[in-house]
Structure 1
Amino acid sequence: MAVDVELTEIRDFLARHEPFAGLPDEVLRRLPARLTVQYFRRGTELIGRGRDNHDLFVLRSGAADVHDAADTLVERGEEGTSFGSITLTRGNPSTFSVTAIEDSLALVVPGEVFHELCRAHPAFDAFFDEQRRSRMRGAVAELQTSATGSAILKTRLRDLLGRDLVTVPVTGTVREAAGVMAARGVSSILVMDGERLAGILTDRDLRSRVLAAGVDPASPVTEVMTPDPVTGSADALAFEALLQMTARHIHHLPLVDDTGRPAGIVTTTDLLRIEEASPVYLAGDIAKQPDVAGVAAVSARLPGVVRALVEQDASADDIGRVVTAVGDAVERRVIALAEAELGPAPAPYCWVALGSRARLEQALAADQDTAMVLDDAVAEADLGWFTALAERVVDGLERCGYPRCRGDVMATNPRWRRPLAAWQAEFTSWLTAPTPEAVLNSSIFFDMRPVHGDTDLHARLQQHVLRATPGAKTFLAHLAKQAGAHEPPLGFFRGFVLEKHGEHRDTLDIKRGGILGVVELARVHALAVGSPAVATRARLEAARAAGALSGELADDLRDAFEFIGYVRLRHQSAQVRAGLPTDSFVAPDDLSGFEKRHLRQAFSIIRFAQQALGRRYLTTMVS
């Protein structure tokens, strides 16, 4: 009788807590007899990190803490909380520890019972999906977080704004503005027209435009201010602001919020106090070099910068942006040196980056992918100037550590150096009469970003393409088939598929079926909805917003992309440290158990997304 009462109490307890509350009454009635009860004294472990676990624990009383591999508290569970589903669904050993912080009683659900409930009751299984999905996000966070818990390149400009806005109205005088600056101890002041930012006045302006020029301090501040100054987003990253300020040779950057209203000012002094400054110094040094040899010498420091960023736990996304920004700085300086040698361009043109650098996702060991869009009014006699420019720039980039593209996708190829109308015709032919070969050759050109010159030429080409892509169903089907062709290197039984031949034999190509897999999936989805986004993460968000991807799958792909990218960067950082050339081929023996488990999960996510895309576009019917 007492046993029946106890079983009834357990049934009633489970009925009050998800996901057991959603089980049918008959299942709930029979379930308690299949469970056991275990007592844990305060300080003892329910699940040990690094050890296998085969049960689900449901706290009936007491409390327990969950700590990750860095011993960071990630969850505190009380009565009704379940622990252990992640090892039951994704395998052992556990990467977390669960420790009782009070004397506790736990209901122990054997693994076979847990799996039986998941198979028979989709709602029960779905309850644990968030834990399964969040495991990838936790893995990303764990790799990116240092022992001190800090992460570099994560500082938002908003976090640096420690004072109220210092402003003067457009009706104020120079003397009034200077008085406010002196009283508040600041080196700049915003000039406001109501709530609109009209200009900025700095200490340098007071010296050069007032004192040195003999301007009457009673003059209107509008006469000496910098009108309509360059602004930055308060939510941008600090290193992005530094790069912008270095490129424009400015020392004060007004920040605006998402409504366009001023939020404050940051200075180069503010930004250089944080440790993200080193990539900016590198970009700044590149811009000062008098010749290609100097640019090459400075750009040779980039692998060391990447190594430092990896060792300081920057994310793959942020490091990709740094590498891209440095690559842009190199390319712009080499172009400027070539233009200085050749003289002014005879017609407007736009030099564009393609591929990973266009997506702001460049890693080390990247080759050149470039093109030129010329103004339609260019004369035949002037084409030689652009040929000479392309040859000088491509040669200069090679000297700076960017190998020539083996597929000849460079501005030196006349096919990729043509007037706007010819580019528009080329894209139209790809979209309206695609062939597998054309799609293979053309997909890189849908990842295009202006680097130098007349950006309106690029904008007009992009608008032409985006108007046509959503309706180009046959082309998108070919593109989807190509996206599915780069299968993740994962075998039927979740074992890694290694390279079988050549210098990279017995290694894992994490670029082809991993990074490139997500890139191609995101490209198809974004083009299908007419999104102008080029970066992979932005494309995933655009696809989510348009309903082309579920929020869950978009998150999973984003996290898989970040995790694989970070593993590649750690691999490349180790190669830099050892003085070896960098690549994307990772030896499984060099991976930790943690990395192997999560790479398998990331590859599984990509494979699932490829299969879903194939079903949507019926790629088995594409030939």
Structure 2
Amino acid sequence: MNEIISQLSSVEPFNHLDKELLEFISSNSKVTYYPASSKLFDEHSTPKQLLWIIKGSVEVYDKSEELIDIYHDQDIFDSNALIEGVYKHSFIVKEELIALEIASVAFDKIMKSNAYVESYFLSNIVQKVHQLKAKAENSTLSEFMIARIDKNLLHKAVIVTKEVSIIDALKEQVAQNASTVLVAHEDGTYGIVTDSAIRQKFIIDNISRQSSIALLESYPVIGVDEDDFLFNALLKMTQHSIKKLPVFDKEGKIIGVLEQLDVLSFFSTQAHLTNMQIENASSLDELITATKRIDTLVISLQTKSVKARYISKLVNELNKKMYQKLFEIIIPKEWHGKVALILLGSEGRGEQILRTDQDNAMIFEDGFIPDDKDEVSAKFIDALEQIGFPRCKGGVMITNPFWSKELSSFNEQSNIWLSSPNQSGFMDMAIFFDASFVAGEESLFVEAKKYMREKISQHTELSSHFAKAINNFESPLSYFGGFITDKKHNNEFDVKKGSIFPVIHGVRALAFEKQLEATNTFERLKELNNIGLLSRNETFALIEALEVILSFRLYVQLKKQKNAEAIDDFIDPNKLNRLERELLKEAIKRVNEFKKLINFHFKLAQLG
């Protein structure tokens, strides 16, 4: 028994127990043997022990006698039953079982005596991931991610009306020792006077000191709510290239100003420096140098356990700045008001973190097809490749005439997608459905998306056919709960095809049906919850599952990048420890449940 307890002491979470608690477990546990096909526990029976499998496997069945889970060597079950006081499923021995049965009295004692063990067994899947990363990286969940705006970080602002003169407003700023001048408007909105406006307009342009302060303001002001996260403040500063954010209370009154220097001192990353280098780049070489910092930023955030979806938000804002600067450098100025550069696929949804490929398109004003279109487009794609965005293998780039044409041609394409539907066309339409504007003349993009939505509203019967692609790929989990790997790909499995795509496309299909405007998958999920199509629990469970899967993929991709290996979507489950496999399996099971929901909602079985 001592040898078995010694082995147990190295298993998560028992490795956090002291010698006294391990001895208590030893005194209240026993090693048991069960032959294959034995019934361990019946549904609705009362649990009396926690089992740790030394050797063998156990299958779990629901009340419909459908296999829903399987436990293997080193797995622990069923803590939920002990906590809730009842088994919700039936347990059958698959392969002859040798297990350590830990009596409920011992389980109760370690739960009450050790906060980590209690947290482990009570926590949800995402919390377990954070615990795992904290241990693996010798780090804790980034304080920044849970930090809200603190009033102690705020600077004083002087608020004046637009009738006040420049000199009087500045005198008042000095008198009150305020960092910022805000201009109040009659409708309750505000403008802000920036340092650069004072230098340019007041000092250099020599505007009269008696002129209205409104001549110096940037209007309307961009601000944040007092209960918002610091991370969101950093996102806004990055997105809008600003250094100060007025902070509003619940009544809409300004209570102070948050400054970039204070945010960056709280959260030391390269986001600000990268953003500034991108904005100041005047050549392709300078832009390439600036964007190299993004990968370093991603690594820094990932090791601090920042959620993948938050990393993608920040990276997306920086990549947009990069695209805008590249557009400015490469695309002729005479094009700027006559074309719209748009991002597609994961870039369009704002979900790409590492530069795995490029997906883009360009909408031209009707009648404007310049003679050097092909030459300029090729130069733009070449530049992206030099920056680190591999060419899209599917040709979804502005060098492809299909994705680079006049507005009327894009509108006609929407007609074709909907009037002559087929699966290939649906996937192209899905790519465009996720598009977002990045540079040029935005009205062209707005018109193209508006036209598509109007046509979709006339063909609601196609929603089910649009959703059908969710069944294109099988789940990476087998019937028996193990991972299905590809022997031709080093016994890895494609986590994107079987686990990420079903969520993205299933959510996209619901957004297609309900005509939602959001493109980001997480934002779409929130909107689906808001309109009552998905319950709060369904939404939260799916967000948790997708976050776990994306986090694992990013973790593996960064390892491959570090080892100079090709970055792809494959994961080797044999390189994961027991807890990691457990977490990933649970997340994929939730994806499979969502997949069933989509099949039921759209009645896909009836399509054949």
The aligned amino acid for 2:483 is F
Distance in 1 between the 2:160 and 2:506 partners? 50
Partner-residue secondary structure (3-state), 1:495 = coil
Partner-residue secondary structure (3-state), 1:383 = coil
1:300 corresponds to: 292
The aligned amino acid for 1:545 is N
- Tell me if 1:566 matches 2:555: no
Distance in 1 between the 2:121 and 2:523 partners? 24
Of the three residues 333, 350, 375, the one matched with 2:365 is: 375
Of the three residues 460, 477, 489, the one matched with 2:476 is: 489
Cα deviation code 1:515-562 (max 9, x no counterpart): 222111110111111100100011111222223222222211111111
Partner-residue secondary structure (3-state), 2:191 = strand
Cα deviation code 1:304-360 (max 9, x no counterpart): 221111111111001112332232233222221112xx4421861110000111111
Partner-residue secondary structure (3-state), 1:313 = coil
2:590 corresponds to: 605
Cα deviation code 1:220-259 (max 9, x no counterpart): 4334x31414414336665565565466554333355688
Q: CA deviation at 1:135?
A: 2.0
Say if 1:274 and 1:385 are closer, same or farther in 2 by CA, change over 3 A. Answer: farther
1:228 corresponds to: 219
Distance in 1 between the 2:336 and 2:574 partners? 56
Say if 1:312 and 1:168 are closer, same or farther in 2 by CA, change over 3 A. Answer: same
1:362 corresponds to: 352
Say if 1:361 and 1:269 are closer, same or farther in 2 by CA, change over 3 A. Answer: same
- Tell me if 1:328 matches 2:300: no
Contact kept, 8 Å, 1:352 with 1:370, in 2: the verdict is yes
Distance in 1 between the 2:169 and 2:496 partners? 55
Q: CA deviation at 1:144?
A: 6.6
Say if 1:462 and 1:220 are closer, same or farther in 2 by CA, change over 3 A. Answer: same
Partner-residue secondary structure (3-state), 2:334 = coil
1:545 corresponds to: 530
Q: CA deviation at 1:455?
A: 1.2
Contact kept, 8 Å, 1:246 with 1:284, in 2: the verdict is no
Say if 1:579 and 1:463 are closer, same or farther in 2 by CA, change over 3 A. Answer: same
2:496 corresponds to: 511
Distance in 1 between the 2:469 and 2:552 partners? 25
Cα deviation code 1:164-211 (max 9, x no counterpart): 653123333334422332233333111112462342224454455445
Partner-residue secondary structure (3-state), 1:555 = helix
- Tell me if 1:479 matches 2:466: yes
The aligned amino acid for 1:274 is F
The aligned amino acid for 1:136 is I
1:142 corresponds to: 131
The aligned amino acid for 1:221 is I
Contact kept, 8 Å, 2:144 with 2:231, in 1: the verdict is no
Partner-residue secondary structure (3-state), 2:439 = strand
Distance in 1 between the 2:402 and 2:470 partners? 25
- Tell me if 1:529 matches 2:518: no
Partner-residue secondary structure (3-state), 1:300 = helix
Matches within 5 A, 1:396-411: 396-411=383-398
Contact kept, 8 Å, 1:197 with 1:261, in 2: the verdict is no
Of the three residues 408, 418, 422, the one matched with 2:405 is: 418
1:456 corresponds to: 443
Q: CA deviation at 1:468?
A: 3.6
Say if 1:397 and 1:159 are closer, same or farther in 2 by CA, change over 3 A. Answer: farther
Distance in 1 between the 2:170 and 2:79 partners? 59
Distance in 2 between the 1:110 and 1:397 partners? 54
Q: CA deviation at 1:482?
A: 0.5
The aligned amino acid for 1:440 is M
Matches within 5 A, 1:142-161: 142=131, 147-153=139-145, 155-156=147-148
2:540 corresponds to: 555
Of the three residues 170, 184, 189, the one matched with 2:176 is: 184
The aligned amino acid for 1:226 is E
Distance in 2 between the 1:582 and 1:325 partners? 22
Say if 1:288 and 1:211 are closer, same or farther in 2 by CA, change over 3 A. Answer: closer
Distance in 1 between the 2:491 and 2:151 partners? 46
Partner-residue secondary structure (3-state), 2:322 = helix
Contact kept, 8 Å, 2:155 with 2:179, in 1: the verdict is no
Contact kept, 8 Å, 1:195 with 1:261, in 2: the verdict is no
Contact kept, 8 Å, 2:556 with 2:571, in 1: the verdict is yes
Question: What do you get for the CA RMSD once the two structures are aligned?
Answer: 3.8
Q: CA deviation at 1:96?
A: 12
Distance in 2 between the 1:554 and 1:361 partners? 18
Say if 1:456 and 1:550 are closer, same or farther in 2 by CA, change over 3 A. Answer: same
- Name the TM-score, length of structure 1 as normaliser: 0.74
Cα deviation code 1:69-128 (max 9, x no counterpart): xxxxxxxxxxxxxxxxxxx99997569999xxxxxxxxx9699x8226999xxxxxxxxx
- Name the TM-score, length of structure 2 as normaliser: 0.76
**Number of aligned residue pairs:** 523
Gaps of 5+ in 1: 1-42, 59-87, 99-107, 120-130
Q: CA deviation at 1:619?
A: 1.6
Distance in 2 between the 1:57 and 1:193 partners? 68
Partner-residue secondary structure (3-state), 1:410 = coil
1:442 corresponds to: 429
Distance in 1 between the 2:199 and 2:340 partners? 38
Distance in 2 between the 1:205 and 1:329 partners? 22
Q: CA deviation at 1:605?
A: 1.0
The aligned amino acid for 1:228 is Y
Distance in 2 between the 1:384 and 1:156 partners? 53
Say if 1:216 and 1:539 are closer, same or farther in 2 by CA, change over 3 A. Answer: closer
Contact kept, 8 Å, 1:557 with 1:606, in 2: the verdict is yes
Say if 1:577 and 1:460 are closer, same or farther in 2 by CA, change over 3 A. Answer: same
Say if 1:211 and 1:441 are closer, same or farther in 2 by CA, change over 3 A. Answer: closer
Matches within 5 A, 1:230-309: 230-234=221-225, 238=230, 241-242=233-234, 245=237, 250-255=242-247, 262=254, 264-309=256-301
Say if 1:549 and 1:603 are closer, same or farther in 2 by CA, change over 3 A. Answer: same
Contact kept, 8 Å, 2:338 with 2:365, in 1: the verdict is yes
The aligned amino acid for 2:87 is H
Contact kept, 8 Å, 1:351 with 1:453, in 2: the verdict is yes
Gaps of 5+ in 2: 1-19, 32-40, 50-68, 92-119
Say if 1:265 and 1:456 are closer, same or farther in 2 by CA, change over 3 A. Answer: farther
Q: CA deviation at 1:476?
A: 1.8
